[in-house]
Amino acid sequence: MRRFPPRFPLIFLSLFTFTASWMPCPAYADFVLYALPGTDKIILLEGTTKRGGFGIIEYTHPSHGTIVLNQDSATVIKAPSKSDDFRKMLSKAKNSKEVDDYISAAKVAIKRGLFKEFLECCSAAYKIDPKNPTILRLIEVRNRIKQPLQDDAKESETRIREIVNLPSMRVQISDHYILLHDTPDTKTFRRRKSRADLRLELLETVYESYFMKFALDGILLEPPQERMMVVLFHDEKDYQRYCTQIDPTLLSAAGFWSPVDNACVFYDQGSSERMKALDELNADLKRAKNQARGTSVSRDTAHLSNTIDLLVKVAKEEDDIEVVSHEATHQLAGNTGLMPRGKIALRWAHEGLASYFETSSDAVWNGIGAVNERRLKSYYRVSSDETMRSIELLVSDLLFDGAQNARAEVDAYGQAWALTHYLMENKPEKLVEYYRRTSELDTSDGSIKRKELVDVFVDVFGDLNKLEVDWHLYMRSLETDIDRLRKAMK
């Protein structure tokens, strides 16, 4: 394993300068529960609000502008922001000036998706004790991922074009990825970036967060020495045609990583049939808004039109983030020695890890290890069934193998997410040991013996009965974002 000399000031401090006079973020944020007119759908939004006259609320989204909501359909809740627990940990660290307190704050920051703040905490801890083992480990892993790759760009382009034989698609590269895409070069008004720019930016964020999370837990992973390949189709139908050619079972997936080709393949979530239907509704409402000008219903029509417009933008962005963070984790796990790429892989292990790292579209506090409401509901459905809830059934992969329909498969994902969440939060080094031990199992006959899988798990984690009790107790302690907001309303 290559080692690099500590270059913390060059790598960390040159990017983000820490000062003792950080401007604190507001402890509370505005959350809006919006009842979509004519439906029973409740949508959760985070941002800032201001009450106006005539029964309206002005709501401003962090990146999509301001809209006007009717007070009859929107409930505003003042609640701790996603950075509130981080701010508390940071305040404690600034008062104590203890390295361990800054590291604790850094752990909270990366779990809340506050990557800049994470780096700032690391910088502060380094200033206090440059020889702290955790800080040295973070320096080393950051130095590793910042080393320029030596791969040949032309060879990488040739390889990815051989996988997807569509000459009209274009190539764009970043520090760690090569992207083959056919998305428009049009840049967004607010961010002044194209769809390809935004996709590469998201991939790089997932990449760095992945390595840093493991380093915080005492685990150094070796980065790939060549750019990872990603394909992005502009239209879902083109993606589906591609899936039909290679594996029709992928048609229902919003994206996938192929261990054989070692490429992630996605489509722009804005091109899905669901999003197209929302776009059509949006267009109809905009026409209705124009036609209603000067009439008694003009205000309500305009409010609804602007609301749907914002919700469509938010939904597209969140769907993209969720699928990319999930599949990119699969790819990273298969390219960093964490899990085998060329051998039979355990579905529960792969899907559990990818679900743990995914940024859920139904959570406000987005970040690594966020409590995913959909996954949590699936876990409760399975855990309430005495015949299905055992760890042995899950870690032998029989829960996935026995899934006979889409609902059962979703529930298997939820159970895998739940066990991985517990182990990543409480026993990360043992979990990585387990991944590596299963990678060493003999699969020369094209299969894995179920008893061997369970034996390895028991050998690493110990008594299953005790572990199962601890796991289910831990799961009952988890709260979703909606749960937190309900508490704030009391």
The mean pLDDT of 4-21, rounded to a whole number, is 35
Beta carbons of 66 and 73 less than 8 angstroms apart:
no
> Angle, nearest 10°, between helix axes 133-146 and 99-111?
50
pLDDT above 70: percentage of residues in the chain = 83
Span 435-478, pLDDT tens digits: 999 888 888 777 778 889 999 999 999 999 999 999 999 999 99
Span 161-204, pLDDT tens digits: 999 999 999 999 999 999 999 999 887 655 688 989 999 999 99
Residues in the chain: 490
Q: Is 44 helix (H, G, I), strand (E, B) or coil?
A: strand
Residue 23 has pLDDT above 50, yes or no: no
Secondary structure letter of residue 249 according to DSSP: G
Residue 256 has pLDDT above 50, yes or no: yes
> pLDDT at position 80, please?
74
Greatest CA separation for the chain: 75
> pLDDT at position 192, please?
81
For residues 392 and 452, what is the distance between their CA atoms, to the nearest angstrom?
A: 11
* Residue 54 pLDDT class (50, 70, 90 cuts): confident
Measuring CA to CA, which residue among 300, 312, 363, 306 is closest to residue 71? Answer: 300
For residues 170 and 185, what is the distance between their CA atoms, to the nearest angstrom?
A: 10
Residue 297 has pLDDT above 70, yes or no: no
Least reliable range by pLDDT among 144-148, 288-292, 353-357, 441-445: 288-292
The mean pLDDT of 196-222, rounded to a whole number, is 93
Highest mean pLDDT among 62-76, 103-117, 166-180, 194-208: 166-180
Pairing of strands 56-61, 42-51: antiparallel
The 65-70 sheet, strands edge to edge: 65-70, 56-61, 42-51, 28-35, 74-80
> pLDDT at position 490, please?
62
Q: Is 479 helix (H, G, I), strand (E, B) or coil?
A: coil
Q: Is 51 helix (H, G, I), strand (E, B) or coil?
A: strand
Higher pLDDT, 30 or 41: 30
> Residue 478's CB: how many other CB atoms inside 10 A?
15
For residues 432 and 220, what is the distance between their CA atoms, to the nearest angstrom?
A: 11
Higher pLDDT, 37 or 202: 202
Span 332-387, pLDDT tens digits: 999 998 987 766 668 999 999 999 998 765 544 467 888 888 899 999 999 998 88
